[in-house]
Chains A and B, each alone.
Chain A
Amino acid sequence: MNGPDETLIRIRNLHKRFGALHVLRGVDLDVRKGERIAIVGSSGSGKSTLLRCINFMETPSEGTIELDGEVLGSEVRGKDGKPARKYAESELCSVRERVGMVFQQFNLFPHMTVVENAMEGLLTVKKIARDAARARAVAQLNKVGLADKLDAYPAKLSGGQQQRVAIARALAMEPEVLLFDEPTSSLDPELVGEVLRVIRALAEEGRTMLLVTHELGFAYHFADRVIFISDGVFHEVGTPDEVLKRPQKERTQAFLARFSEFIF
């Protein structure tokens, strides 16, 4: 059904409000299969919120999100008579099985070992038999270089190792899309590299990935497309060269100027 250029995610007119705070103000985005997108911007710009809407950790206030040709949610009449969308929890849970997320704070389960963390989604959500689940988890853990830490508890691992476990945990679910929400922002500088290396390896496999990051040098090499988001809208979009090296708009230039030491 999906050829290599098929659109995997289609976002139209996405708005997200938190009470009075209007964080996302009308975002449109098409993500093709195998595309790698880096999203950069200041705090409060809405970049994390955008990511979190894609796997419905936040539900959109307005607008539609389409995954693999299927528009999610159902249309209802809102309180003011205008059309609105309602999202059923079960539908969102199945979306999240297909969209993997890696968090800034890792969010590993401290009461489970590394391999148990990686298996957990397969066991409980996909209801795969224990042996098969373990095998898949071990394969992913191998891939991120933690084959020797299977039975360790997260507390005993460094930040970089924990984040790699988190990545393996997401990969084990065989997601169609991978979302990275500032995966290295909580790490000590010397641990950032090992995580970026894993992400780069995944990129080379041709996976569809969206990465919110402050590591602009990495974004430059990683992305097919870079989006600079500001005040809840896409301020500038283009290739890494267009946005990061030769930004046209003033605000983009001001933002980049603050990162005086990024290396291409």
Chain B
Amino acid sequence: MNYQWDFSAIVKYADMLVLGLVGTVKIAVVSIVLGVIVGALVALARMSANPWLHRPATAFVEFYRNTPPIVHFFWFFYALPIVIGVSLNPFVAAVLALSTQSGAFYAEVFRGGILSIDRGQWEGARALGMNYRMAMRRVIVPQALRRMVAPFIERSFELTKTTALASTLAYAELLYEAMQVNSITFRPMEVYSAVALLYFIVLFTASSAMRLVEARLARHA
């Protein structure tokens, strides 16, 4: 291989890449927060006995679990504006797509945590005279939360990787900035390898930290 590596181009445009990294973090954080809200509401709806809540919530979750994220991104950016009559900027469209999508997955995490609590806990609570809300608040959810931590972190990790799709909407996250730098420097090997490495460092550190937290929690359980 006679390829001449030249990373100077990357160094020169490092500020763009940093900008991209910030964009990635921004979109990830906002989507996680919104996703948690959406997920909690959908989870409650799914667990409700009322079919008017239960069925749409299930359809919502099944739809997002069985369709590719990129379709959601394009739909929110190109299709939704037609329905609501307002055009959306890339950030908004990407956040909408990501938070509804992660909301569906978080809903499963929340519901799974709550359903995993032994039936006897419900019985103990109700035998004391607690209604559904009291039982959830005092007995079920506090126990379920601990079980939700690991899958929640895992889902958030996946969400962070999915932010790369926002590049297709021309949102200035890391992959998009990489494409920009490439179009200036014409050094795809260096640019994309460096960006892959950047993603790797960020995500690998995050997942290692995750594993430490999980181990800690398991020890104190």
Residues A111 and B143 in contact, CB atoms below 8 Å apart: yes
Given the known A-B contacts A103-B120, A105-B120, A124-B134, are A111 and B142 also in contact in the complex, defined by CB atoms under 8 Å?
yes
B130 at the interface (CB under 8 A from A): yes
User: How near does chain A come to B12, taking the closest CB pair, in angstroms?
Assistant: 55
A215 at the interface (CB under 8 A from B): no
List the A residue with the shortest CB-CB distance to B128. A121
Partner of A125, one of B120, B121, B130, B143: B130
Instruction: Give the interface size bracket for B toward A.
Output: 10 to 19
Contact with A along B118-148 (1 / 0, CB 8 A): 0011011111111110100011001100000
Q: Which residues from chain A contact B121 at a C-beta distance below 8 Å?
A: 107, 109
Q: How far is the CA of A111 from the CA of B147 in the complex (A)?
A: 13
Partner of B123, one of A97, A107, A121, A124: A107
Q: How far is the CA of A107 from the CA of B135 in the complex (A)?
A: 13
Q: How far is the CA of A2 from the CA of B58 in the complex (A)?
A: 52
Partner of B139, one of A97, A100, A101, A109: A109
Given the known A-B contacts A90-B131, A103-B120, are A96 and B126 also in contact in the complex, defined by CB atoms under 8 Å?
yes
List the A residue with the shortest CB-CB distance to B138. A124
Residue among B127, B138, B139, B142 having the largest count of chain A Cβ atoms under 10 Å: B127
Q: Which residues from chain A contact B131 at a C-beta distance below 8 Å?
A: 89-90, 93
Helix, strand, loop or mixed for chain B's interface? Answer: helix
Q: Which of B143-158 contact A (CB under 8 A)?
A: 143
Given the known A-B contacts A109-B139, A124-B134, A124-B138, are A169 and B120 also in contact in the complex, defined by CB atoms under 8 Å?
no
User: How near does chain A come to B81, taking the closest CB pair, in angstroms?
Assistant: 45
List the B residue with the shortest CB-CB distance to A166. B124
Given the known A-B contacts A120-B138, A124-B138, are A108 and B129 also in contact in the complex, defined by CB atoms under 8 Å?
no
Residues A57 and B129 in contact, CB atoms below 8 Å apart: no
Q: Which of A38-94 contact B (CB under 8 A)?
A: 55, 57, 89-90, 93-94
Q: How far is the CA of A106 from the CA of B126 in the complex (A)?
A: 13
Q: How far is the CA of A45 from the CA of B24 in the complex (A)?
A: 63
User: How near does chain A come to B220, taking the closest CB pair, in angstroms?
Assistant: 12
Residues A107 and B138 in contact, CB atoms below 8 Å apart: no
Q: Which residues from chain A contact B128 at a C-beta distance below 8 Å?
A: 96-97, 120-121, 124-125, 169, 173
Partner of A124, one of B124, B127, B130, B143: B130
Q: Which residues from chain A contact B142 at a C-beta distance below 8 Å?
A: 111
User: How near does chain B come to A98, taking the closest CB pair, in angstroms?
Assistant: 8
Partner of A110, one of B123, B127, B130, B143: B143
User: How near does chain B come to A232, taking the closest CB pair, in angstroms?
Assistant: 22
Q: How far is the CA of A94 from the CA of B129 in the complex (A)?
A: 6
Residues A57 and B127 in contact, CB atoms below 8 Å apart: yes
Q: How far is the CA of A105 from the CA of B142 in the complex (A)?
A: 20
Given the known A-B contacts A110-B143, A111-B143, A124-B134, are A101 and B127 also in contact in the complex, defined by CB atoms under 8 Å?
yes
Q: Which residues from chain A contact B134 at a C-beta distance below 8 Å?
A: 124-125
User: How near does chain A come to B107, taking the closest CB pair, in angstroms?
Assistant: 23
Q: Which residues from chain B contact A95 at a C-beta distance below 8 Å?
A: 129
Q: Which residues from chain A contact B123 at a C-beta distance below 8 Å?
A: 57, 103, 107
Residues B124 and A108 in contact, CB atoms below 8 Å apart: yes
Residue among A89, A93, A100, A124 having the largest count of chain B Cβ atoms under 10 Å: A124
Q: How far is the CA of A95 from the CA of B131 in the complex (A)?
A: 12
Q: How far is the CA of A124 from the CA of B142 in the complex (A)?
A: 15
Q: How far is the CA of A173 from the CA of B130 in the complex (A)?
A: 12
Residues B129 and A93 in contact, CB atoms below 8 Å apart: yes
Residues B143 and A107 in contact, CB atoms below 8 Å apart: no
Partner of A173, one of B126, B129, B132, B138: B129
8 residue pairs from A and B, CB less than 8 Å apart: A94-B129, A95-B129, A100-B127, A103-B120, A105-B120, A121-B129, A125-B130, A125-B134
* Chain A residues with a Cβ under 8 A of chain B: 55, 57, 89-90, 93-97, 100-101, 103, 105-111, 120-121, 124-126, 166, 169-170, 173
Nearest 10 pairs of A and B residues by beta carbon:
A107-B124, A121-B128, A97-B129, A96-B129, A107-B120, A101-B127, A125-B129, A93-B129, A105-B120, A111-B142
* Chain B residues with a Cβ under 8 A of chain A: 120-121, 123-132, 134, 138-139, 142-143
